[in-house]
Structure 1
């Protein structure tokens, strides 16, 4: 779908220079002399490189729609993560580095969304929150105020998170997978 250069918004996926780019930031500029343009900061979805590009209002650019499919995480095999399409039951293997550091939050049977472009995986979206058990937590230091003091703890997946002083080893907590922060205790 073609759109004008001044219609580009953050989050749009564009086909530019025969590659796929996501618009990270856009700044619409109206200079005193000459036509208006959009200054767009883009990130390449395939190799992660960044690019700043200027699009005039009269230029058109191809906006791409990605297909989103539901998959279920099955298991890890070496450096590969194995997912299953919940509709066709076909398996998909992705490298651990493709998912990134958030792969530590994958749990067997977890539902994820895989974004595909022309049947090629571009990204994996995990649930926003997961439940994990605290493996070890530092003891509470007397004299600390409960209002703003957090202590480090290690979860069962080996990831460190800052938790309130009342959380102890063995408790299950809810963690935000986007910024790896403590949300609350799990029931």
Structure 2
């Protein structure tokens, strides 16, 4: 096991808690108040049974990070119960339950390269590419006089995910999305 400082814990990390139980991190936020001790709140899911839990710890405290191997896989298809991934060299197929992928399932596309975090030769978490490209299917028209550069408007992607985009983005435009927080990055260059 490797010690990791609480403030360095990121979404997708696998931690060992409670005497050997493995947890995958769903969200980690660090709070630095003006007075007092900085803390990190970590939302995680126990891998064995899917129970979610939240812990709050001092930012500098060490946590046990489990040794997991990041193995590249290619997404193939959804068989109704699981999502099927294939190892690109051995062609072994791995079934991943939808609850392991969570709300990021909307970003999966056939032939997408992903990293499965493997522990004892079984998947415990998934890491999608940091950025993906999708088309805007619908968005609100620009309000005349709305020139502030920080104003954003809601838009719907071709995969059904709602995001906020700058006013100059219209329906039919392909945009790059950050998969970690579903935020607009830039207009696609393709």
Say whether 1:9 aligns with 2:11.
no
Which of 53, 56, 66 aligns to 1:50? It is 53
| 1:15/1:150 CA distance change after superposition, 3 Å | closer
**TM-score where L is the length of structure 2:** 0.74
| 1:42/1:186 CA distance change after superposition, 3 Å | closer
Alignment check: 8 A CA contact 2:24 2:124 kept: no
Gaps of 5+ in 2: 31-39, 58-62
**TM-score where L is the length of structure 1:** 0.75
Larger radius of gyration: 1
Question: Superposition pairs for residues 151-170 of structure 1, below 5 Å?
Answer: 151-170=153-172
Gaps of 5+ in 1: 27-38, 55-60
Alpha-carbon separation, structure 1, partners of 2:29 and 2:141: 43
Question: Superposition pairs for residues 49-88 of structure 1, below 5 Å?
Answer: 49-50=52-53, 64-88=66-90
SS at match of 2:171: coil
CA RMSD between the two structures: 2.9
Q: CA deviation at 1:9?
A: 2.3
